[in-house]
A and B are shown apart, each in its own frame.
Chain A
């Protein structure tokens, strides 16, 4: 089955640590996206990539970093510079870099700072 997989489902981070969230898709989609969702809130765009080896900052990129070395993978690193990282993180992909085909979402990673 084709889909988009996020791992781990739950992640705990200590203060000052960097952590990396995994996102893998086998849909052959060109574009991938990372969103952050806080309780009772909407989706805020962190980073997106329309093609391999290229990515752009979204609305809340500070404290995060990404890479897109392979079409299938778009890992997100939450750095120690992100002061309030506790949130639900969603990865998505779409056929092309244009938005007129909709997104397929992963099941999310819940990150908690302990």
Chain B
């Protein structure tokens, strides 16, 4: 079946290091992908998106990479800060709704 999954449930990084969060998707027809950040007790917030006609997109301190050959999506956070601690979800479109992955918890330690 179609699914969106994450390789690592928890990622611990030192403040100032770069973080990489990975996501695998199985629907090769998906053409739109989004990364969300969810802080404890809050709703998910949009971080960055990418369409399938691109393989890289950059935002402020964040970069999303899309590898359609292996159906892999990653979120890179540069110079990780304590405020980046949260759960990160990838999502892919499914015609009329998004399918969300299970999430990766990012922990930033000093």
Could you tell me which A residues sit within 8 Å of B by CB distance?
Answer: 6, 33, 35, 41-43, 45, 48, 50, 58, 88, 90, 92, 97-100, 102-108, 110
A99 and B2 CA atoms in complex are apart in Å by 16
Residue B76 at the chain A interface, CB threshold 8 Å: no
The residue in chain A whose Cβ has the minimal distance to the Cβ of B32 is: A100
Q: Measured between C-beta atoms, what is the minimum distance from A73 to chain B in Å?
A: 17
Which of B43-51, B54-62, B64-72, B78-86 is the interface stretch?
B43-51
* A-B CB pair tally, cutoff 8 Å: 56
Interface size class of B (residues with CB under 8 A): 20 to 34
Q: Are B43 and A99 in contact (CB under 8 A)?
A: no
Known contacts A42-B101, A42-B103: does B43 contact A98 (CB below 8 Å)? no
Would you call B93 and A100 a contact (CB within 8 A)?
A: yes
Task: Tell me the bound Cα distance from A1 to B9 in angstroms.
Answer: 35
Kindly list 11 other residue pairs between chains A and B, CB separation below 8 angstroms, not including A42-B101, A99-B96, A102-B49: A6-B43, A42-B100, A45-B97, A92-B43, A99-B32, A99-B93, A100-B31, A103-B98, A105-B45, A106-B43, A108-B42
Chain B positions within 8 Å of A, measured between CB atoms, are 31-32, 34, 36, 41-46, 49, 51, 89, 93-98, 100-103
A-B CB proximity, top 9 nearest? A105-B43, A99-B93, A42-B102, A100-B32, A43-B100, A99-B98, A107-B43, A105-B44, A108-B43
B43's closest neighbor in chain A, by CB?
A105
Query: Chain B CB within 10 Å — which of A35, A43, A50 has the most?
Result: A43
- A105 to B: closest C-beta gap in Å: 4
CB of B83 to closest CB in A, whole Å: 18
14 A-B pairs whose Cβ atoms sit less than 8 Å apart in the complex: A42-B89, A42-B100, A42-B103, A43-B44, A48-B96, A50-B96, A99-B93, A99-B96, A102-B34, A103-B44, A103-B98, A105-B45, A106-B43, A108-B43
